[in-house]
Amino acid sequence: MIDFAQLHLSGNIGLFIGAAIVVWIAGTRIARYADEISVHTGLGHALLGLLLLGGVTSLPELAVSLSAAASGSAALAVNNILGGVTMQVAILAVADFAIGRRALTSVVPDPVVILQGSLNVLLLTLVPTAILVGDMAIFGVGAWSWAILALTIGSLYMLSRSEGRQPWLASNLKQTSRSSKNTDSAPRKSQQSLTSVLVKTTVAAAAILIAGYIISSTAEIIAEQTGLGQSFVGAVLVAISTSLPEISTVLSAVRLGLYTMAISDILGTNLFDVGLLFAVDAVSAGEPVLNSAGRFSAVAALLGIAVTTLFVIGLAERRDRTIFRMGVDSALVLAVYFGGLVLLYTLRDAS
């Protein structure tokens, strides 16, 4: 295995850029493969976005978080996960801006996305609660981490059974260039066999795992070589790096008009990522990891709750009002995200 710490800064930057290109290509293709799988199997885009895209794009977070925790950097692993949650919701705002004209949350017909967002908020509330009240180990893992695992599994089970719920009737949507592209419920035919699509999906997922791990590992070393603080790096630089798969898959999905899949990708990824706190706790030595977390981690979790809630409000309200080529909810998400970065930077030396 490559010891990235022994490489010069320029070498790590080169590896970072090369791996980022691989992740971008694989992420773009896997969104198309997910659509093909939907055609073959009849599974909805909300479920595929949650389980397939959300699961696959969580692989880099899994690799870097477990690696950091096993090497004694549990705080970096926790901050990477929590910082990534807010960053990934902000990706939806960027996607909203990229396609323009209509608010992204006004053209999603599947009500399951509200359930996904609500479960995200519920799961995230456990983190600052655990930090404030303290944790105790049960079979070597914190009690709050066990609760996070249980709620994650319960959420995934509930969402897996929500497939096929009656969509909203989008009677207020006019036939514009953006809404006419929405293929979330349009009948399609696949030009490839299911076996072929599954093989290509597996290859793309492997590419995302390997390249995503290289991205996150080199980003951490680059941060150290450039002298940035560990907490701020964990929540911003490494989080942005490991979010590259989500950026590519979401932008690809919205270009295809697969708006439900795009949102489910992000909300699904965040469910998986917060659930990873259990794995981080399990491989970390010493006391429960949330006992070592402090104000920085608590604020990062609260920011994740805030931006997710803003999108849930937008999904429920379905108001097609835009500002700066994006929905008002997306604009507010970006404002909270960038304001949160400033706040987190002031807390970068806090535990």
**pLDDT over 50 at 185, yes or no:** no
The Cα 9–Cα 105 span in angstroms is: 41
> What DSSP state is assigned to residue 247?
H
**Summary mean pLDDT of the chain:** 81
pLDDT higher at 114 or 83: 114
For the chain, the first-to-last Cα distance in angstroms comes to: 30
CA distances for 243 relative to 58, 108, 168, 250, 296, angstroms: 9, 23, 30, 11, 20
Q: Which pLDDT tens digit goes with each residue over 265-294? A: 898 889 988 999 999 999 988 889 998 888
Q: Is the pTM of this model over 0.85?
A: no
Lowest mean pLDDT among 106-110, 141-145, 146-150, 160-164: 160-164
pLDDT higher at 307 or 183: 307
pLDDT band at 150 (very low <50, low <70, confident <90, very high): very high
pLDDT at 308: 95
pLDDT higher at 341 or 144: 144
The Cα 48–Cα 34 span in angstroms is: 7
Q: How many CA atoms does the CB half-sphere of 330 hold within 13 Å?
A: 28
pLDDT at 35: 81
Structure tokens at 187: 């009948």
**pLDDT over 70 at 37, yes or no:** yes
Is residue 163 within 8 A of residue 44, CB to CB? The reply is yes
pLDDT at 237: 63
Q: What are the residues facing 138 on neighbouring strands?
A: 141
Mean pLDDT calculated for residue range 134-145: 92
Mean pLDDT calculated for residue range 296-310: 93
Mean pLDDT calculated for residue range 133-154: 94
The Cα 45–Cα 38 span in angstroms is: 7
Question: Is residue 110 classed exposed, middle or buried when 0-12, 13-18 and 19+ CB atoms within 10 A define those classes?
Answer: buried
**pLDDT over 70 at 178, yes or no:** no
pLDDT at 350: 60
pLDDT at 1: 61
pLDDT at 168: 53
- Fold held by 4-346: A middle domain of Talin 1 (1.20.1420)
Number of helices (H), then strands (E), belonging to the chain: the values are 15, 4
pLDDT band at 164 (very low <50, low <70, confident <90, very high): low
The Cα 351–Cα 345 span in angstroms is: 12
The Cα 196–Cα 28 span in angstroms is: 17
Angle at 351 between CA 278 and CA 285, to 5 degrees: 40
Q: Which pLDDT tens digit goes with each residue over 224-261? A: 777 655 555 555 666 667 678 888 888 888 888 888 88
Structure tokens at 135: 């944790």
pLDDT higher at 2 or 269: 269
Q: Which pLDDT tens digit goes with each residue over 213-224? A: 888 778 777 777
Beta-carbon contacts of residue 146 (< 8 Å; ≥ 6 apart): 138, 278
Q: Which of 345, 326, 344 is nearest to 334 (CA)?
A: 326
Question: How many of the other CB atoms lie within 10 Å of CB of 148?
Answer: 23
The Cα 240–Cα 318 span in angstroms is: 29
pLDDT at 334: 94
pLDDT at 233: 57
Question: How many of the other CB atoms lie within 10 Å of CB of 181?
Answer: 16
Q: What are the residues facing 327 on neighbouring strands?
A: 322
pLDDT higher at 88 or 55: 88
Domain ranges of the chain: 4-346
Share of the chain above pLDDT 70, in %: 85
pLDDT band at 349 (very low <50, low <70, confident <90, very high): low
Q: Which of 101, 99, 170 is nearest to 322 (CA)?
A: 101
Share of the chain above pLDDT 90, in %: 23
pLDDT at 48: 75
CA distances for 315 relative to 53, 107, 303, angstroms: 20, 9, 19
Structure tokens at 328: 């008002």
pLDDT at 3: 76
- The C-alpha R_g of the chain, in whole angstroms, comes to 19
Q: What is the DSSP string of 12-80?
A: HHHHHHHHHHHHHHHHHHHHHHHHHHHHHH---HHHHIIIIIHHHHTHHHHHHHHHHHHTT-HHHHHHH
pLDDT higher at 96 or 69: 96
